[in-house]
Structure 1
């Protein structure tokens, strides 16, 4: 979720303070798309254990960052997809987080036992939940098989410069002592070359064997949860067709994965042995998948993409996609009409209410957006992102009477989503307007940390420390930010 463009932020900094510039007057209209490319945390040492497909070249070229996006509806669906697989793998109760990457290609990968990255292209291309569940099962196979540790050992044995396979503490530092929760609100990744020549080939050969093992483990988990492996097989068949031409000229020993034709052959044999091969996904799960897919198609695509996918159909997913695209196109009146139709169809769907609130706040009506966001929070009380939306709307009204509640909602949301730059930026504005400039500076510093603006973050943290009691929670959080030294490629 974006707040103001970076150029506007920097102008405010030059004038003295981001939050002080906004304090005491109505907050300007802020476009904050629910699904958008975000400023990502530059994460040093992300060893991307790639699986379904190689990372796209453009992801490696964009300043070594991954464009991570947030969406409560899609994330909740992915958690429900993953939960039975994790139980089958003996990982129940873990804190696996599936992080969406704004990339249309079909790819997913894990970097440690707690984080899985999945391109939105996986969900957009998957016609059924079972296809996505198969991808998740494969990735969980890597985690349960401890392949990540073994990969690092293999890299060391091959004398390759390896990078840490965990997320740096920038997010945790910015979250401060107030919350012990983990996870990434907004994140990014660093792609680091793994070497060349015989050493590289040795490592890639090791990876191929782990890929095959993860495939077999995925079939095992799907059978244990009484789910079909057909979706996983269909996925690899599709990838095999895409790879066919390139594979004619490829060196199989220079691939980090088994050649698709070999992989599909092995998978097909195992999949068709499953007693659940022809089992369909539950209708309710398919309906949720169809809505999530419609949302991503509309946000990530064009009018042509929506039309090609849904035509003039009147299904709920088709109406959802059209409502979102209409909102994106800057037609708020028509968007509200379409969204109201969705709400009337499913009045207890929190994500329809969220979309209504978003459309209103983006079209310059923050006061009108409060009631829809209240509904969204009521119907999804455990979603931290919903609370942040509502807190943001309350701040954006410009009414001081709402500030105390807004601060409470933003802090509650941050306990569940501790790495949200939007939440910290709105908290900074609210604290400034409540007459707490030092706390406003701490919140601004955290927002800048999470956006990768480390030098600016340190300036605000240093200013905050001068007005805070030494050793207090705010002072300590500011001190963490001042002391933090990002790796060379992250420094601003």
Structure 2
């Protein structure tokens, strides 16, 4: 199947969602992955949405993705998608610096720079994302060998350059960024600080530069022009609020806890540091070290300080669940959802923990949670996987086949999606919405598979299933 940019992003979104057994997850399948975490996503949204509105964009139409990569990079793709490397988030000293980069990337979207960029660069980068996406999708679908082969032929996110913009486009994006920060009553100084911090990149060879500055060429003239604009804005001296700084530090601590080695975490956040970010990071590091007692001790201390913080309860549920104590994870997962109602990832986490009881009386509860989550994130393939499991446990095999069709459709395995949709249709009543949806999947699959055959030439004499 050939993917365009829109379907490419759908596949990447499905890949990220499929990794979310609980709130925070990352794949380790020999390729960089996308991270999902309700708390971090919410923090980034709070930082980003005002900027998007200032640029005349609807926040609901712009997706933000976190790439699990320690390198310094951020980029946008067609379809209004912003990608931030975890390394960039960790490198930003303040929320204002991170907002400045986000405003700059927003400027590339509103300025139409993606459309104007060199088509060859975009095509090559898109091909890499497609290869990585399809490879991971194959692994998730149970085709580990095929997925490994595909991934073996694709490069890692961090090893590739994103779109390379001209210096003219970079300067324009700087001015857009300053304008959007000004419209939101914020200082544009953060972007200047970010550029100044890495000014040495200007004299390094292309190969030695951080990925961000390979795709976004830096120059002294740009910095000087931006500084002049920010100075005239009247907001140059506006600083981040204490609440924003706290959220930024908590986001960074959580990322470090999950992405850095435990020894690094303990070095950065020694036991003498009893701040909330330090305890947060150590709770995760202890969990990764299989030190459940101290992990729970740290997270319980945070819950005692902030009993109404849903993310502390969420992390406790994850720690318990992934430590083999699924039923013990139910209560903190339930509390997290009570404090953050309607969150799809938290609904999936609670449904997953609930299924650990293996009590048939709990199956309808898990089913309701999963249906609610999938109404909001219909491309969440892991949610469909769990729903198929719930249906199967309740003896509803036709609905289980339908949910499996949706799961394969979400990860881009059109051939398998069609197969299961057809099997479901044969058993489902025609008046059910699932029957009609299965019919839609079959129609779309037939169209895409036919297009694929047409591009490859005459239909082979021996039929085969192809991804």
Deviations 1:192-211 (A, max 9, x none): 9xxxxxxxxxx96x643222
Distance 1:159 1:387 in 2: 37
Match of 1:134 in 2: 100
Deviations 1:164-222 (A, max 9, x none): 9x99xx99xx9xxxxxxxxxxxxx9x999xxxxxxxxxx96x64322211111001111
Does 2:3 match 1:37?
no
Alignment length, in residue pairs? 406
Scaled by the length of structure 2, the TM-score of the pair is 0.77
Deviations 1:400-421 (A, max 9, x none): 1111111111111112222222
Instruction: Return the structure number with greater helix share.
Output: 2
Match of 2:141 in 1: none
Match of 2:205 among 239, 246, 253: 246
- The answer to whether the Cα contact below 8 Å between 2:206 and 2:214 also exists between their aligned partners in 1 is no
Match of 2:177 among 203, 213, 218: 218
Deviations 1:267-313 (A, max 9, x none): 33333444222221010111111111100011111123213432331
Match of 2:425 in 1: 465
Distance 1:133 1:441 in 2: 44
* Aligned CA distance change for structure 1 residues 275 and 113 (closer, same or farther; 3 Å): farther
Match of 1:119 in 2: 85
Higher relative contact order (CA 8 A, sep 6+): 1
Distance 1:329 1:476 in 2: 48
* Aligned CA distance change for structure 1 residues 422 and 162 (closer, same or farther; 3 Å): closer
Deviations 1:430-450 (A, max 9, x none): 111111111112222322343
Scaled by the length of structure 1, the TM-score of the pair is 0.73
Where structure 2 has 5 or more consecutive residues not aligned to the other structure, the ranges are 1-18, 138-150, 157-162, 457-464
Match of 1:400 in 2: 360
Does 2:83 match 1:83?
no
Q: Displacement, 1:466?
A: 2.5
- The answer to whether the Cα contact below 8 Å between 1:388 and 1:413 also exists between their aligned partners in 2 is yes
Q: Which moved more, 1:395-404 or 1:104-113?
A: 104-113
Deviations 1:378-413 (A, max 9, x none): 111132111111111112221111111111111111
Does 2:195 match 1:229?
no
SS at match of 2:420: helix
SS at match of 1:127: coil
What is the correspondence of 1:439-478 to structure 2 with a 5 Å cutoff? 439-470=399-430, 472-478=432-438
- The answer to whether the Cα contact below 8 Å between 2:71 and 2:87 also exists between their aligned partners in 1 is yes
Q: Displacement, 1:465?
A: 2.7
Distance 1:434 1:368 in 2: 23
* Aligned CA distance change for structure 1 residues 120 and 160 (closer, same or farther; 3 Å): closer
Match of 1:336 in 2: 296
Match of 2:116 in 1: 150
- The answer to whether the Cα contact below 8 Å between 1:429 and 1:440 also exists between their aligned partners in 2 is yes
Q: Which moved more, 1:73-82 or 1:223-232?
A: 223-232
Q: Displacement, 1:327?
A: 1.3
What is the correspondence of 1:39-118 to structure 2 with a 5 Å cutoff? 62=31, 67-92=33-58, 94-118=60-84
What is the correspondence of 1:327-366 to structure 2 with a 5 Å cutoff? 327-366=287-326
